[in-house]
Chains A and B, each alone.
Chain A
Amino acid sequence: MSVIVLSDVSKTYRTRAGQVKALDGLTLEIPTGQFVAVRGPSGSGKTTLLMVIAGMLRPSAGTVAVGGQDVFALGQQERARFRARTIGFVFQMFHLVPYLNIAENIRLATRADGVNHSSEVPPLLERLGLAGRATHKPAELSAGEKQRTAIARALLNRPKIILADEPTGNLDPKNAGMVMQHLADFQQAGGTVVVATHGRACDDFATRVISLRDGRPDETK
């Protein structure tokens, strides 16, 4: 069964220089349990695709269904709650809140979900090798630790899907490998992973690779 279904999705941005088509009539189905790498150069529409799947960016045309739910049929607040329950997001720049410690950053996800998952923070920290860092601020962590914190935050609500936008873009090969392994562990536990990348960092882990060029897909694996 496909957990993500995009039907004829287009997204056009209006810029000062004119209109830019980030996604162009994209139709895509991603079954549960896949590890999908979305590859393409900068400006190919990878981030836009993830934002559209996450319900953060309304497409100019087409429909997006996640877990059987038409995402954009929901109101803004409902969509936010749906996203918090269903999707975990990992960003290239980690996006940790600088004034909260690591445990608090991870717990940020729990309130948005409406269900208290706080008790799951310590085992998550343990699993991701951050047990000794719970009370540290993001500024005191290495890039790899920051990204693992972001993964822990994405995993806290036990989502069905993790969307990761260039999650290894700022990491050395060793840490990049660790991050990919954690995402792969999630996929092997039954989750679905979609990673946007412009390199080949996740080739060893991806079960499917979609190349994007000018907002159109070109499957290569």
Chain B
Amino acid sequence: MSTIKMVLKELWHRKINFLLGVLAVTVAVAFFVAFQTAARASNRETARLMLSMGYNLHVIAQDADVGDFLMTGVASATMPERYLEKLASQKNISYNHLLAVLEKRMVWRDIPIIVTGLAPEICPPGRKKPPMIFQVEPGTAYVGYQVAARLGIEKGQMIEINGIPLEVARCLAESGNVDDVRIQCHLADAQRILASPGQISEIQAVDCLCFVEGADPLEILRTEISTLLPDTQVLQAKSMADARAKQRQMVFKTFAVMVPFVVIACGVWVGVLAITNVRERQTEIGLLRALGYGTAKIGGLFLGKALLTGLLGALAGFGVGAALALMFGPEIFKLTARTTVQPETVVLLRALVAAPLFSIVASFIPVAFAVSYDPAATLREE
């Protein structure tokens, strides 16, 4: 009789033992799948939530006064617009969501304003993402709350700054920050208003979520950017960047602690079941030995069972883990669940390889005992 046929017959005969083993693997795989899905979703969710806090990376001209920039948020010197394309054309970099800005403080109709010209946001190759900020069409302007209120400006009205006409596309709601005194327009319009053709004052960006704990993100970013743009300075809104990195690392730390704990517990569970199975079948092993069956056949009976336990546990665990993620994911990750909380074929394939290996490793010691049983000792004791 073939080994697989004997394994299947034994499984059917000792269904409870087998089902308990499958359950252990199912729990481990389900936990892994659910946690991995949750970690990925949490990562994306964090990124989305943090994006709403704005850009945290600023590239300004070498000549710009850093102190002045930190106090006013406006760089005092400009740099060529093509710098943006240079940054945007790079692969394997640690930043994203690039936005070229030209802005300047000025007095307009007797009130201080900041003219801010925005180019459409661009992403480096292969990292296309939805823009973080509104796009201003050429010839139009978004007027900050204080400016609109003080000057009585309304949507649809035409305004003129330094001889450049702009249609008010929106009057922005009160923000309580510097945006209330901005007039935001297309970069090309701002370059004409400020008589700075081909110039920008700042490139804003968001650092990526790829930094590992212990690395200095600013150092990495400065190295990357200074290689490309030697006559610039890189500033990072550190608290914002840290919050992003810590949130991401926290998820992975939790994952790193919980998964081994569950996997070890389930491994012990499978191992104990294997020990019980081997003890229960001691005389069968002795008999097979007495009949002349070798180590490969006897080991195959137990490892074959472990293999099937792992395969079935992987399928069931993937199903349970994916179902849990689909059930609870949208409640937890409201922004990104639709795109991130989904069963992944690659996770299933990993489970189908890892779970049988896990089950075989957990059963290995009892199986090693089984194949080394002395038939005489076993049968004599009867």
Contact = CB atoms under 8 A, between A and B. Distances in A.
Contact of B382 (A83, A91, A104): A91
A83 B1 CA distance: 19
Contact of B379 (A91, A97, A100, A111): A91
Given A93-B283, A93-B382, A99 B9 contact: yes
Interface string B273-312: 0000000000110111111111000000000000000000
Interface string A95-111: 10111100010011101
Interface in A34-81: 47-48, 51, 54, 56-57, 77, 80-81
B14 interface: yes
Contact of A84 (B10, B14, B291): B291
Contact of B375 (A56, A92, A98): A56
A80 B9 CA distance: 25
Nearest to A47: B380
Interface string B112-152: 00000000000000000000000000000000000000000
A158 to B, nearest CB: 15
Contacts of A108: 1, 287-288, 291
A95 B292 contact: no
B243 interface: no
B93 to A, nearest CB: 61
Nearest to B11: A99
A54 B292 CA distance: 11
Contacts of B382: 91-93, 95
Contacts of B6: 99-100
Interface string B64-108: 000000000000000000000000000000000000000000000
B348 to A, nearest CB: 31
A83 B289 CA distance: 10
Given A95-B283, A97-B284, A112 B292 contact: yes
Contacts of A97: 284, 287
Given A97-B287, A98-B13, A100-B9, A113 B376 contact: no
Given A56-B375, A56-B376, A99-B12, A104 B290 contact: no
A113 B293 CA distance: 9
Given A93-B283, A100-B6, A112 B291 contact: yes
Contacts of A77: 294
A113 B291 CA distance: 8
Contacts of A100: 1, 6, 9
Contact of B292 (A83, A98, A104): A83
A60 to B, nearest CB: 13
Interface in A98-141: 98-100, 104, 107-109, 111-113
Contacts of A186: none
A40 to B, nearest CB: 15
Interface of A: 47-48, 51, 54, 56-57, 77, 80-81, 83-84, 89, 91-93, 95, 97-100, 104, 107-109, 111-113
Interface of B: 1, 6, 9-10, 12-14, 283-284, 286-294, 375-376, 379-380, 382
Given A57-B380, A95-B283, A113-B292, 5 more contacts: A56-B289, A95-B286, A95-B379, A97-B284, A107-B1
10 contacts: A51-B379, A57-B376, A80-B293, A83-B292, A95-B286, A95-B382, A99-B10, A104-B1, A107-B1, A108-B288
